[in-house]
Amino acid sequence: MSDIVFISIDDTDVVGGEGTGRLARRIALDLNLNVLGITRHQLFIHSSIKYTKRNSCNVIMAASPNPDVFEAVRDIVLDRFQEGSDPGLAVSQTVPDSIMEFGQKAQKEVLTKESALKAAEGGRIRLEELGGSGDGVIGALAGIGLCSS
């Protein structure tokens, strides 16, 4: 799968605003990516988790990525995320089992931002907080694990 890149975003919107799924499609168009698919992944619904509507993340799968895709996507998200959201971005071409397991856990239990950052470091996944509390890194990392599995 090394010729496929997984680009995952989460928590870029607020109630009444442009959703994360629409932003994922905008990113794919703006960067003229060779898109293999854009997927939505349902995450755990719990009263202690802040989410807009459905607590889901979106992943763009693209072939033959530009080496600077992370920076290009980050620029778009930073330009378009909505105040009050807590966006996160994850990008990877390889996805270890530990990240797939993280994604599956994110559908069943409450996870922390710290656990996401630690898992990403261990799995060598590029993961970054882009605003607000940065809690969107949880869903962004989970999306890569779920999409790749």
pLDDT 10s digit of each residue in the chain, 149 long? 458 999 999 988 777 777 899 999 999 999 999 999 999 999 998 888 877 778 899 999 999 767 789 999 999 999 988 888 899 999 999 999 999 999 999 999 999 999 999 999 999 999 999 999 999 999 999 999 999 99
C-alpha to C-alpha distance for 22 and 62, rounded to whole angstroms: 17
Count other C-beta atoms under 10 Å from residue 139's C-beta.
Answer: 31
Query: How far separated are the first and last CA of the chain, in Å rounded?
Result: 12
- Domain locations in the chain as residue ranges: 4-148
Question: In the numeric block, which tokens belong to residue 123?
Answer: 């799995």
Strand, coil or helix: 34 = strand
Q: Say whether pTM exceeds 0.75.
A: yes
Class at the top of the CATH hierarchy for domain 4-148: alpha beta
